[in-house]
Every structure is written in structure tokens, then in C-alpha cells.
Chains A and B, each alone.
Chain A
């Protein structure tokens, strides 16, 4: 876990900031210098919608060492209200209660800890509404 990397990605992971193309109006995430649809450099910051629904999900039981403490957890592809799709965990939800099509809201949580004294990586997750 590298401090410069965490700092660099704060706009996307902490604030859920993407971009909106001023030419073709496409909203996209994560932040890019060029519009991924029309290639225009004329892009401006865009804050993602904070609600959405679960498209697909799975329960993870085998993962990397830093995430093992969280298992079993739910990972999902979420379609936000503005049409942008992102991957994130579903929290505050019993494993058996997760459903495709379920409405969720974006919440700010700990993603992983680098040991008991190391850095903490934060980012968005999703909770049922």
C-alpha cells in the first residue's frame, strides 16, 4: 500500500469523481484525460450518482491476505442511477438477503488495512436502501 498511490486516487475512490464529456455528454468512470467514447479532451469533473441497483453479485470466500479478514463478503457490479457501472462490495446486508435488482446507496468504508499499524485504504461500497 503506497501513500502516493492512495493520494493520487482519492478523487475516484474517496469522492467517486468521474468525468463528463462536454462534447458528446457521455458520463464515465474512472477519471480519464480523454473521453472514452469520442476521444475529446474537453472533459469536466463529474460526481457519480449515489444510488443504483445490483446487476450481478457473488459471495467471495477466497481472496488475498489483506482481504481475508472480511470474508465471506459480497462483491457486485452496480448500475448507478446515471447509467455508469462500477464494481464494489455490498455491506450492511446479510449474505442470504442480497438479490439481483436490489436498490443500493453508495457508502464510504474501509477497503483494506495494511496490518494492525499500517495504512488504511478507504473507498466506496454499497448498502441496501
Chain B
């Protein structure tokens, strides 16, 4: 049994979208300083900063920690952690371990990406090629989107998942995104619009993938002892489970294409750490970079039986205040997907839900919340489980 001694005491997030005014380090600095302010601690309390990003920005300086911290007037050691699209959650997990180990008492985690600079054709596809098997998938002509198309086809063939069920995923997430002030897209899109769009890698249509944008998100983690010594801290959300698992990079090396084994394994460990069953989760942020991503997630995380994910979304069982509220923030689809920032933004949404501060997106009964962050086609998955806020204001 893991001791539950790590808490989230503050959050900060920039708005997601095309932000031409700010570079990656500025975005990261904005999120970090706002998280410190939110946590009611002094800058000097932070012992180290963990930064999660895939490429950061276009300035050939992926290690933006030094600039970010200088611009925030903070002096701490810093490290950048890269785990593809799951870089944010990977940085979060390392910070969690740092506090759990007893070495640190208070750490900052920042997820950041600046992708709107990449305007030339194919540049983002090239960046994303690092998250799939570069030599034996990408160089042979595959792209991340085309591999998700194959995952979609496998699910459609095995479980008769329909195009309507797939389109219900982004339609639901856009509906949720309307209520998220930080989301890139705050507009509903009809299922018909998804169905009628041009195919970019059949069966994936032009509007199906999450957009690659700019943004940063930050959380402050602290130990129980640190919180007791700092009376100003007025909120602490416990991290009850934090785990990750891997699978082969290439789809062609996997036995099954109708599940992400890494998600199942990471979730099993996280549930065990939290000592709960999947049914106890009533709000979750999952990696819906493509519609099939969310369907696979809600099955692999144990919310619905294998093969019934598409049906569950179509029947509204994943809408806000239904059986399990999935992607109340709008998900990657409506919030936008700045790779490294996404994993932290997902955790922030769950923190807000656990604090009862999610505004119109708030789910009525709070129990446990989960965030799932996936790299590539599932070569790595991070799962984090949070509990209800423990200090009442």
C-alpha cells in the first residue's frame, strides 16, 4: 500500500490556442507564476521544477527551463522531461515520486508547447514522427493520423463501431468545451459536420483530430508536512495513484489493435495504489487526440466493457453528470493539444472538479477523478488518480 503523502496545492494555466505574442518560455512562466500565486506559497519554497515538453517551440532550444525560471524570477534546479504527447504527465509523475521519496517537500511541474510557429506543410507530422516507430512506420510512409486510422478500422471491424459513434466523441467534447474559458474552441459542432468532412486518412476526417496549438499548464505539489507548516495553503487535492506503462512503438509489433495495453496496465497499477475499482471514478480526462482514442480509453480504463465504448458515447453515458463524465474540459479536441501542456491541463481539470470549482463544468457528485495521457499510438500511457479536496475553505 502506497502512503498517500503527495498533494496538489495550486494550479495555473494559460488559455490554449494560437498565441503569436508569446514564446514557449513566456507561456511556461505565465502558468508557473499563476500556479505559485494560486498555491499561496512563496517562490523560495519550490525546491525544483520539472518541465514536460516534446519540442517546446521552434527556437531549437527545447530545454526552456532556464529561461522560464529566469523570467519568473525563480531560482531552482530544473529538468526537462520528454515523453512525446505524454510529456506533461511524465513530468508530473517524476515530481510525484520526488515528494513520495522524501527528498523534496515542494515541487513545481510545468507542461508547455508552442506549436503555432510550425506553419510549413508537414512540420508537425515530422515532430509527431518521434512518437511512432520512426524507422519502420514513419519512414515507410505512415503518419500518426494514419496509424490512428488503422486503430479505428480495427475497432470498427471487431466491434461494429460506427462512424456515428465515433463522431459522437468530438461532438460531445465540443459541447463540453463551450464552458471552458481556457479552451481553444468554444463552439458546438454537429455530428453531421464531422461525418461530412473530407477524409484525411480514412476513416479519420478533417475535423476529427485535436488541433496542435500553444499553451502551458502548471501545478505545485507538496507533502503533508510542508502543508502543515504553511498555514496559508487553503486547498490540497491528494494524488492517490500515479502510474505509467509502455508498449511497442510500432502497431505491427502488437498482438491486439483493439486495445491499448499500456493504458490497461497503467490503470491497473493506479487503481491498486488508490485501492479503488474503476466504477468509483465519476470524472475523467482521457486522451482524445482522435475519436478512437477516447473510445479505447473508456474501455481500457475499465469504465465500459471492451467493444461497448462507441455505444456508450452514442447513448450519452459519458456526458457531464452521466455514468462517468468524460472530458468535461472539452478534452484535447476542444481545449486544443499543446503536447507537453496537455497532461497537466488534464490534471488541472480534475483538480478543479475535486475542489468543486469547475463552474458550469462541475459534476454533481465528486468521488475520485482520473487523468490519462497517451504518447503516440499508445507506446506509453500515464494514469493519475486524484481524490476529493481535503481542506475545506
Q: Could you tell me if A85 and B252 are in contact, using CB atoms closer than 8 angstroms? A: yes
Report the nearest A residue to B126, measured CB to CB: A64
The answer, among A12, A61, A75, for a CB contact under 8 Å with B141, is A75
Instruction: Please tell me if A86 contacts chain B, counting CB pairs below 8 Å.
Output: yes
A111 to B140, CA, bound (A): 7
The answer, among A58, A59, A100, A111, for a CB contact under 8 Å with B139, is A111
Q: Mark A61-95, 1 if CB is under 8 A from B, else 0.
A: 11111111010010101000000011111000000
* Contact residues, B188-205 vs A (CB, 8 A): 199-204
How close is A41's CB to chain B, nearest CB, in angstroms? Answer: 20
A86 to B140, CA, bound (A): 10
How close is A78's CB to chain B, nearest CB, in angstroms? Answer: 8
Q: Could you tell me if A89 and B140 are in contact, using CB atoms closer than 8 angstroms? A: yes
Main secondary structure of the interface of A (DSSP, over half): strand
Report the nearest A residue to B135, measured CB to CB: A9
Report the nearest A residue to B127, measured CB to CB: A64
Q: Could you tell me if A62 and B141 are in contact, using CB atoms closer than 8 angstroms? A: no
Residues of A within 8 A of B200 (CB): 61-62
Q: Could you tell me if A60 and B146 are in contact, using CB atoms closer than 8 angstroms? A: yes
Residues of B within 8 A of A123 (CB): 139-140
A88 to B138, CA, bound (A): 9
Residues of A within 8 A of B137 (CB): 87
Instruction: Please tell me if B163 contacts chain A, counting CB pairs below 8 Å.
Output: no
Q: Could you tell me if B199 and A88 are in contact, using CB atoms closer than 8 angstroms? A: no
Report the nearest B residue to A56, measured CB to CB: B150
Q: Could you tell me if A58 and B135 are in contact, using CB atoms closer than 8 angstroms? A: no
Instruction: Please tell me if A121 contacts chain B, counting CB pairs below 8 Å.
Output: yes
Q: Could you tell me if B154 and A60 are in contact, using CB atoms closer than 8 angstroms? A: no
Q: Could you tell me if B145 and A75 are in contact, using CB atoms closer than 8 angstroms? A: no
The answer, among A30, A89, A100, for a CB contact under 8 Å with B135, is A30
The answer, among B121, B125, B252, for a CB contact under 8 Å with A87, is B252
